[in-house]
Amino acid sequence: MIPLPLTEDERMIIDMVSDFSASELAPIAHEIDIEKRVPIEAIAKMRELGMFGLLIPEEYGGSGVRAILSARVIEELSRACAAVAITVAVHNSVGAFPILKFGTEEQKVRFLPRLAAGAIGAFCLSEAGAGSDAASLQARATRDGDVWVLNGTKMWVTNATQAAIYLVFARSDPDPAAGHRGITAFLVERGTPGLSISKLEDKMGLRASDTAELVFDGVRVPDVNRLGAEGEGFRVAMSALDNGRIGIGAQALGIARAAFSEALKYARERRQFDRPLASFEAIRLKLAEMDTDIQAAALLVYRAAMMKDAGLPYGPQSAMAKLWASEAATRVTHAAIQIHGGYGYTKDYAVERYYRDARVTEIYEGTSEMQRIVIGRSVLGRV
């Protein structure tokens, strides 16, 4: 047990989310994965429960919970359905949070209450040629009086089909030498002319989460929708990702916990050679390694969240949390399938979905390689 410094109210919120996950998400997780369907009804209920206002302060209509509670909520949702969890995690940490951190008071008043009420946010950074190397993005923002005109194509946009507000990063300085200092962030409303979905991705996992390619073709955005200063976009993106990584770590942790619990259950019930699997030393050691991997992930994720709550710099710690938790989730779900044997390779058991869902946590919001660069640099400096 990892004792977290949570209040009675915070524990009640976790219990509520846990109950909701078990009763509303777990029963549909398999079917929405197969059907590749965003569960609109379940998401509507989550709106009512206030899960889209977790990080937004009360004055803007949210609940303004601490990062540690937000991480626990994502973890609980992920145990039941990692696809729905990422909808919430992306909305909260890279959709709403950057507005809270970089927005003007006018922008906060205009956008945050809507986001808190469940108008979903999306984050548009990556492009076909700019993944880990986000600073090389090519989408253009050209000024036309009080309006910016956006042109370009964005990839891997989570929540793309359901979002009401898109946070978009584009190059506002045409000088190629400007590099990451030439990028500016904009808030784009759904339905703005010129904004369209060009391709819905058919993914290995998280199939009930909508990921798409978005085309911006002469999309006109008023300057009052610019988030942060001109040229500050890359900083906005990196800060959002520092925060987002705690959420991905929590998601990976939730998936791993779900896989472990299935593996433990199966190992106790399944008999071979007249003995339960759990009586074989190799299986016991596998379970112990899985649990240890998970506990390490939990300790690292909770630490990053608590450091954020304490107002301390937490960039390297959130990178560590994301790196370990995501790789642990892959190891743990892999082992969970192994314990299930052939059954684990079928869709009759949830472990194959956990395995597919876990894999992307090593990739999105910064690949494991990028996390290692962040952590390595925090120790060595720029060598």
- By C-beta, is 5 or 218 nearer to other proteins? 5
Question: Can you tell me the distance from the alpha carbon of 86 to that of 23, in angstroms, rounded to the nearest whole number?
Answer: 18
Among 144, 175, 202, 281, binds other proteins (CB under 8 A): 281
Residue 282 touches other proteins, criterion: CB under 8 A: no
- By C-beta, is 99 or 283 nearer to other proteins? 283
Residue 238 touches other proteins, criterion: CB under 8 A: no
Burial class (CB in 10 A: 0-12, 13-18, 19+), 308: buried
Residue 241 touches other proteins, criterion: CB under 8 A: no
Residue 271 touches other proteins, criterion: CB under 8 A: no
Among 128, 204, 229, 296, binds other proteins (CB under 8 A): 296
Residue 177 touches other proteins, criterion: CB under 8 A: no
Q: What is the DSSP letter of 129?
A: T
- By C-beta, is 45 or 265 nearer to other proteins? 265
Given a contact cutoff of 8 angstroms between Cβ atoms, the answer to whether 19 and 5 are in contact is no
CA contacts within 13 A on the Cβ side of 252: 37
- By C-beta, is 188 or 374 nearer to other proteins? 374
Token look-up 């007249």 returns 274
- Residues making up the chain, counted from first to last: 383
Among 201, 230, 291, 309, binds other proteins (CB under 8 A): 291
8 belongs to the catalytic site? no
Given a contact cutoff of 8 angstroms between Cβ atoms, the answer to whether 211 and 324 are in contact is no
Residue 14 touches other proteins, criterion: CB under 8 A: no
> Which residues lie closer than 8 Å to 266 by C-beta, 6 or more apart?
277, 339, 340, 343, 349
Per-residue x/- marks for other proteins, 322-351, CB under 8 A? Answer: -xx---------------------------
Token look-up 């990178």 returns 319
Q: What is the DSSP letter of 59?
A: G
Evaluated on CA atoms 52, 57, 61, 62, the torsion sign reads positive
Residue 145 touches other proteins, criterion: CB under 8 A: no
Number of residues that bind other proteins (CB under 8 A): 39
Closest residue by Cα to residue 305 from 320, 290, 293, 292: 320
**Which residue out of 24, 213, 327, 365 is catalytically annotated?**
365
Given a contact cutoff of 8 angstroms between Cβ atoms, the answer to whether 91 and 244 are in contact is no
Residue 199 touches other proteins, criterion: CB under 8 A: no
Question: Which residues of the shown chain bind other proteins in the complex (CB under 8 A)?
Answer: 1-3, 264-265, 268, 276, 278-279, 281, 284-285, 287-289, 291-292, 295-296, 299-300, 303, 317, 320, 323-324, 369, 371-381, 383
Which residues are catalytic, by number? Answer: 365
